Amino acid sequence: MGGAGFTVAARLDDELRRWLRCEESLLVEMALTHHGYGVRLGFNLTWASEGVLRPDLDSREQRLTIEMRGVQRLHMEGGLSQRMLDYPEAINWGLSEVSLLRAEPCAAGLQLQVLWEGERRIVIDAQSASVIGPDGVPSLP
């Protein structure tokens, strides 16, 4: 699996911007890799271009994968309401719809922030990252 590699937060952030920061995309995968040395995040992209939703959202996934390597910190805040805790069967795909992704520098090298509206978030501090776009789909301008 190829993709662009990053060790500088500003460059990773530029790449995330090219993918519209995955705004309103769905987090469909989060997995530890290489015995916990890494974390893989998969997002089903929602935008065909800025302001235009993909017409095939219900029938086909377009996955953007971010691989974090040399992970020093993995933090997730659920931000679940009391209603969600009381009625988990009522939770749907909307819980996985992220607001945006951004990257910032940190002591480990770079920090990836996956942010939702409210308190829900994932923060990963790592040495490096790679971004792999969906096959046959160019990044957005």
Q: How far apart are alpha carbons 63 and 125 in whole angstroms?
A: 22
With a CB cutoff of 8 Å and minimum separation 6, the contacts of 75 are 121, 122, 123, 124
Q: What residue ranges do the domains of the chain occupy?
A: 2-132
To the question of pTM greater than 0.85 for the whole model, the response is yes
Q: Which two tokens stand for residue 46?
A: 């929602």
Q: Give 52's contacts (C-beta < 8 A, 6+ positions apart).
A: none
Q: pLDDT digit string (tens) for 20-61?
A: 999 999 999 999 999 999 999 999 998 877 778 788 877 788
